[in-house]
Amino acid sequence: MSEFFTAIGDKQRAFIEKQPVFFVATAADGARINLSPKGMDSFRVLGANLVGYLDVGGSGNETQAHLAADGRITIMFCAFDQPPLILRLYGKGRAILPQDNEWEIAARMFHILPGTRQIFLVTVESLQESCGWGVPVMKLEKERETLSKYHAQNETPERLARISTRTQSIDGLPQRVQDRFVPREAAKVNVDPDWVPAVLNYWLNEVGPNGWFDSSEEEDARCLHLFRALWDAQRDNPAVDFLTDADTALAAIILFDQFPRNMFRGRPEAFATDSLARDIASGALDRGFDEEFVEAARPFYYMPFMHSEALADQERSVALFSRPGFERNLTFARAHYDIIARFGRFPHRNEVLGRETLPEEEEAVAEGAHW
């Protein structure tokens, strides 16, 4: 029923990166056991035996006090969908605060959130998998935004002064407090100047035709690990920034149109940069960039139109894929067009995007309308 491991493998990494929530348990001699749920895309696998999570200010700081006194920590992930699984990480942890010398290095691996107060690094000593058969099947509706909105409005000197008084846990254990708020703009990931060839090589060569439309959980997790930070860093830039040349345009289209479908499969973020990808694709076609690539890579210039829920984009998709050499793509383009012409949207996205599904849309999904 259960099995132990000494390091995080690829399948376990993929499982961890798919979960929207995890649980953290700590204890110290003479103190109450603390158990906390966490979310907000704050957890990162940093190595086979190293993980970390970004911690946002809340009602208490027991985890930090316990780790300073004892060091032991258990982190649990459990699947609320299929297949069932519970994964526990056992290890020793420590807190890194914004004023610590290690902060700048540790923070590079995380998306800094409003209210960020520390990062916990955990050395994983062992892992345990168990069946999870008793865990109910549930679906994520959405992330709560209340805490982020609260902190975004309250990063003030007055609040920092109040925080400075919270130097003990509920059981009187000493705990450290942050002496500053983390500037979120300053914490943005520095974009690697070689990101364009990295994206193109990964997608066109490493993943290649066999993996473009038949991805695995392991490949989804690998894509997330390699390119999530780049996606975060680039997603707010205007389309024109990516239209300097054909390579940059194609890499950006792949980053914003293809990668999210792998990185965020089954989540709203999968479609969050579709409009940016479409704008880049439109500008790239105006400049004739698609003609600079071999036929096998050229469809990625056109797919943002196929993924759009605008009928005009679908018409453009069908026209583009009607060119000689794209007969297989044309079959899918017409199928996408038919769905948008019929419903004005892709019904299979309704649940993920929190939209009500009409009876006729349910029927279409049951018949195989999976776009």
Which residue in 250, 273, 270 sits closest to 204, CA to CA?
250
158 Cβ contact partners less than 8 Å away, ≥ 6 residues apart: none
Residue type, 286: D
Give a yes or no: residue 19 inside a domain: yes
Give a yes or no: residue 32 inside a domain: yes
Give a yes or no: residue 268 inside a domain: yes
Residue 168 is classified by DSSP as: B
Which pLDDT does position 363 carry in this prediction?
85
Side-chain half-sphere CA neighbours of 97 within 13 A: 13
Judgement on whether residues 106 and 209 belong to the same structural domain of the protein:
no
Q: What angle do CA 228, 232, 234 make, to 5 degrees?
A: 115
**In Å, how far are 70, 319, 338, 351 from 310, measured between CA atoms?**
57, 15, 12, 19
Give a yes or no: residue 124 inside a domain: yes
Give a yes or no: residue 78 inside a domain: yes
Least confident of 54-63, 102-111, 211-220, 284-293: 211-220
> Residue 7: which CATH number?
2.30.110.10
Confidence check: pLDDT of 214 > 80: no
Judgement on whether residues 335 and 268 belong to the same structural domain of the protein:
yes
Confidence check: pLDDT of 369 > 80: no
Confidence check: pLDDT of 353 > 80: yes
- As a whole-number percent, the residues of the chain with pLDDT over 90 amount to 65
- Token pair, residue 260, equals 């999210």
For residues 4 and 363, which has the higher predicted lDDT (pLDDT)? 4
Give a yes or no: residue 263 inside a domain: yes
Give tens-digit pLDDT for 294-323.
778 899 999 999 999 999 999 999 999 999
Give tens-digit pLDDT for 146-175.
998 888 888 889 989 999 999 999 999 999
Judgement on whether residues 150 and 299 belong to the same structural domain of the protein:
no
Give tens-digit pLDDT for 60-98.
899 999 999 999 999 999 999 989 999 999 999 999 999
What is the number of structural domains in the chain? 2
Judgement on whether residues 200 and 332 belong to the same structural domain of the protein:
yes
For residues 309 and 371, which has the higher predicted lDDT (pLDDT)? 309
Least confident of 64-73, 121-130, 219-228, 265-274: 219-228
Confidence check: pLDDT of 251 > 60: yes
CA distance 139 to 39: 14
CA distance 11 to 3: 14
Whether the model pTM is above 0.85: no
Query: Taking the C-alpha atoms of 271, 274, 276 and 280 in order, what is their torsion angle to the nearest 10 degrees?
Result: 150
Give a yes or no: residue 177 inside a domain: no
Judgement on whether residues 306 and 232 belong to the same structural domain of the protein:
yes
Residue 49 near residue 92, CB atoms below 8 Å: no
Judgement on whether residues 223 and 335 belong to the same structural domain of the protein:
yes
**Domain span including residue 75:** 2-163
Which pLDDT does position 229 carry in this prediction?
85
Confidence check: pLDDT of 47 > 60: yes
Q: What is the mean pLDDT of residues 240-261?
A: 95
Confidence check: pLDDT of 100 > 50: yes
Confidence check: pLDDT of 186 > 50: no
Give a yes or no: residue 168 inside a domain: no
Which pLDDT does position 58 carry in this prediction?
85
Q: What mean pLDDT is reported for the chain?
A: 91
Which pLDDT does position 352 carry in this prediction?
86
> Residue 312: which CATH number?
1.25.40.10
Judgement on whether residues 263 and 305 belong to the same structural domain of the protein:
yes
